[in-house]
Amino acid sequence: MGEKHYRSVIKAISWRTVGTIDTIIVSYFITGNLVMAVSIGSIEVVTKMFLYYLHERAWDRTNFGRVKPSANDYQI
């Protein structure tokens, strides 16, 4: 079963929110500078969201690891 593009977009946004918060925290601990940490986080949120979207779409095109329902399967 495939996914619609908007599902991949929403997943990318939610994951990047978590990832960006993590990046800002780690950057702050390394630099000790909140402005620098937020700057790093704001740059990576855009690039990684775009890369995640492309990654999701690529995986959606492959059947690797998917199980096809058998002919006698039914859904209620």
Cβ 19 vs Cβ 46: under 8 Å:
no
Residue 27: per-residue pLDDT = 95
Cβ 27 vs Cβ 43: under 8 Å:
no
Q: Which two tokens stand for residue 15?
A: 């994951």
Per-residue model confidence as pLDDT tens digits over 17-57? 898 999 999 999 999 999 999 999 999 888 887 888 898 88
Structural domain spans, the chain? 5-60
Per DSSP, the residues of 40-76 read: HHHHHHHHHHHHHHHHHHHHHT--TT--PPPTT----
The pTM (predicted TM-score) of the whole model is 0.60
What number of CA atoms fall less than 13 Å from residue 51's CA on the CB side?
7
